[in-house]
Chain A
Amino acid sequence: MATSGSQSVPADLFEFDSKEPWAPDTFMLVPLESSQVLVPEHAAILGAQAFLKIARLPFKVRECHNSSDISPNGKLPVIKCGAYVVSELDGIVSLAQAKGMSITEYLNAAERADLRAYMSLVHNVLGNALLYFTWLDEDVYNKYTKQRVGSPYNFPLKYLLPWTLRRKVKSQLNALKWGYRTTEEVYREVETCLLALSERLGESDYFFGSTPTELDALVFGYLFTMLTHPLHNHSQFSNIIRHHPNLTKFCKRIDQDFFEEQQPESSSSSGGRLE
């Protein structure tokens, strides 16, 4: 299920065989991009892709209708590398670390703690805000989410599945107290989060100096998605981001450095253009 509500597995619980190198035929499983993928899923996928491109780890993208069911914890994206099936950015980062591919080796202990704190802030605020608008906003749910979730299935699952998934997301968000918030409260949360990010970023290229980390990948995934995939009449998201010119510049930089120049043929995987 796309919404098992469970926390992601801590990195040290994975027992990866570090002797095997990163499999060259690694692929990332994503929902059908044209018809099925939802905005929160797109943000998570884009963040993971940014990380893999920053770490220069090769991967291919494969679309399938049940990618979230294939995922070990129900979350996206899913990566199959050799015999391992790993999900979410956290899982992918620890898999890469086990294979000796870390992009945060130069950080000291305090910076690492900072990195973790910011990552969980982004996960909690931006991730839940996108879930909130995708599933709990009646307009968005009826005009967008319902159609996309049901699209790969035939009658009657086409109508049953969005309904059951919505109930699950609702109870998950209610447990985190997000379900009871109003739209304005959610916007305020997002504004606070973006302000904190903008202040942390300052005028530097990336969050921790001149080289990108997984935090940069994660933030890029969310911000770029919010800028390029406006949820039905919730364009305020992109306006809030545009209040922070350093954040839009940051998105443009990662998009250009890692999605356009490095691999022009797969630039479409970032899924949009910044004007």
Chain B
Amino acid sequence: MANDNNKGSPAGDVGVAGVSDDKGPPTGPGYEATVRTGDTNISVDLSSVPVTVQNINFDGLNRTKNEFVEKAISDVFLTKNFEQLILKVGRAQSKLQSLGVFSEVATVVDTSKGDDATPDGYDVTFAVKELRRINGGLSGMVGTNEGTAQFGINFPNVLGSGEKVSVNHFVSSSSGKKTEINVMVPFPYIGTEFSTSLYSCESINPWSAVTTSATGNLLQYNMKIGKNDTLSIQWHGVWRCLNALGSRGTTFPVREYLGNTIKSAFRFIYATDKRDQPIFPCSGTLRKVDVEFSGAFGDAKFLKVETDWQYNWSLFENVVLQGSLRCGLLQPLSSSPMSYNINDLFFLGGPSSLRGFHMRGVGPRCQQNALGGKVVWASAIHLYAPLPFLNSKFSFTENLRLHGFVNCGGIGQNVAECSDADNVRISSGIGLAYRFRNAARIEINYCYPFKFSAKDRCVNGFQWGIGVDFL
């Protein structure tokens, strides 16, 4: 904490709670500085200290363009008193950090010096450290019951406005590999970003015994609307070639989908997320609508709609009742056999959708191959509670929940088939779920499926699941 008493004005690093000052009595609520001198407490109302920000300096700005950072800090010039100064500088600092071009952002607030310095004049200096031109890395990710290793080279802030180019190679534990070149252009001040990704991937789908080699481009425009809403507009153009996995395991109904198709799809994803946190929320709702229209050109022609709802009610002290519903519908827009393929269809079953059944183990199948359906629904009711007899002071137990659940769902080729009472699957169980770094969830459950059809592959007993997106 630095004090500069020759003007009787406080100065120092932003974010410091106590600031000593020797003039002015406390006048009201708001930011107050208290200092103990001898045995008298002096309180100062910071909003009554007039401030004029005269200069804002950047230290360490090399290739980043001025216009790109100007907007983050322009608000600081409007400061009228010291309280605002602290708030606005803090806000500017976190904004600068969120631009993704600096590895460090530090701020120094000092009184103005020099010939044109006014008595209430302040200078703000942002000392930033830019990310290096190239960085690379090796990281691991968690998908639905699989792990993925990522090797990547990033070129952050290529043109000085936060543009990022990255080349990534992913190798997954069970489902193939992917190489992509990604270009991202952010517009952080209007809450949007544009990205395009050129990729080539080989993926394995063991549940239907097919492999897919896909080469394509994904254009994405993501925007934040208000506090809770996000909209993503995507165009996805991809050449997909489906092949049989191995020489014998692929049955004829799956083989009929094999071959080449080109899909050109527009996709709109609108989400309203009012939950307090994405994993183990205590309150709030999530609503998500995902509409995909394929058929601008190319062979695949269909309309696909998926919706997600999740409601959370906090009953008492960390005991949360959660209800969720997921529905999906695929409508082919042409009678051609190329209008959709097995990768476009819906599948049901597995720890992240319908517990008590094997992964994609519910619904139409031919021998060992899951055939998928055009209509799907799944719902879950959970009761989450912290573990009894354990205090939640340790982060391990804080991230652990006991839960009981009832899952229902159905899958079929049309709405009538799906809503038929005979086609409803119900399972229930209890288990432990662990939140891993607020990004993934691991759970082990004892499941008991009690309504299923003869062809379903049930899990009557322990089932574990790892992933991000759980029902």
Report which A residues bind B (CB closer than 8 A). Answer: 9, 64-66, 69-70, 72, 80, 83, 85, 152-157, 160-161
Contact = CB atoms under 8 A, between A and B. Distances in A.
A79 to B, nearest CB: 11
B247 A72 contact: yes
B244 interface: yes
B203 interface: no
Interface in B129-160: none
Given A69-B260, A70-B258, A72-B244, A157 B252 contact: no
A70 B298 contact: no
Nearest to A164: B260
Contact of A85 (B239, B242, B255): B255
B259 A154 contact: no
Contact of A156 (B248, B255, B258, B262): B262
Given A66-B258, A156-B262, A80 B299 contact: no
A80 to B, nearest CB: 6
B261 A157 contact: yes
A156 B259 contact: no
A69 B299 contact: no
B297 interface: yes
B79 to A, nearest CB: 57
Contacts of A156: 262, 297-298
Contacts of B248: 72
Contacts, number: 52
Pick from B242, B256, B259 the residue with the most CB of A within 10 Å: B259
B60 interface: no
B264 to A, nearest CB: 9
Contacts of B461: none
Tell me what chain A mostly uses at the interface: helix, strand, loop, or mixed.
Answer: loop
Contact of A69 (B239, B251, B252, B259): B259
Contacts of A155: 297-298
B344 to A, nearest CB: 16
A161 B239 CA distance: 11
A22 B172 CA distance: 42
| The 6 A-B residue pairs with the shortest CB-CB distance in the complex, in nearest-first order | A69-B259, A66-B259, A69-B258, A70-B255, A157-B262, A154-B299
Interface in B233-279: 239, 242-244, 247-248, 251-252, 255-256, 258-262
Given A72-B247, A157-B239, A157-B262, A65 B338 contact: yes
B296 to A, nearest CB: 11
Contact of B298 (A9, A66, A85, A157): A157
B337 interface: yes
A157 B260 contact: yes
6 contacts: A64-B256, A69-B260, A153-B338, A154-B298, A155-B297, A160-B239
B259 A65 contact: yes
Interface in B154-175: none
A160 B260 CA distance: 10
A160 B244 CA distance: 22
A66 B257 CA distance: 8
Nearest to A9: B247
B162 to A, nearest CB: 34
Contacts of B298: 154-157
B252 A80 contact: yes
Interface string B204-246: 0000000000000000000000000000000000010011100
Contacts of B299: 153-154, 157
A65 B258 contact: no
A228 B367 CA distance: 43
A153 B260 contact: yes
Contacts of B337: 64-66
A156 B215 CA distance: 13
Given A65-B338, A70-B259, A72-B248, 5 more contacts: A69-B258, A70-B258, A154-B297, A155-B298, A156-B298
Nearest to B258: A69
Contacts of A83: 251-252, 367
Interface string B316-359: 00000000000000000000011000000000000000000000
Given A65-B338, A72-B247, A154 B255 contact: no
B173 to A, nearest CB: 28
Contacts of B243: 69
A246 B248 CA distance: 42
A85 B252 contact: yes
A160 B299 CA distance: 13
A9 B239 CA distance: 29
A230 B252 CA distance: 34
A1 to B, nearest CB: 8
A188 to B, nearest CB: 37
Contacts of B247: 9, 72
A35 B259 CA distance: 18
B300 to A, nearest CB: 9
Nearest to B261: A157
A154 B252 contact: no
Contacts of B297: 154-156
Interface in B99-142: none
A4 to B, nearest CB: 10
A160 B262 CA distance: 10
Nearest to B254: A70
Nearest to A165: B260
A258 B399 CA distance: 75
Given A65-B337, A72-B244, A154 B262 contact: yes
A160 B248 CA distance: 29
Contacts of B255: 70, 85
Pick from B242, B243, B258 the residue with the most CB of A within 10 Å: B258
B75 to A, nearest CB: 49
A157 B239 CA distance: 8
A60 to B, nearest CB: 14
B373 to A, nearest CB: 22
A195 to B, nearest CB: 38
Contacts of A65: 259, 337-338
Contacts of A70: 252, 255-256, 258-259
B45 to A, nearest CB: 69
Contacts of B252: 70, 80, 83, 85
A64 B259 CA distance: 11
Contacts of A9: 247
B303 to A, nearest CB: 17
Contacts of A153: 260, 262, 299, 338
Pick from B242, B248, B258, B260 the residue with the most CB of A within 10 Å: B260
A154 B339 CA distance: 11
A258 to B, nearest CB: 27
B118 to A, nearest CB: 66
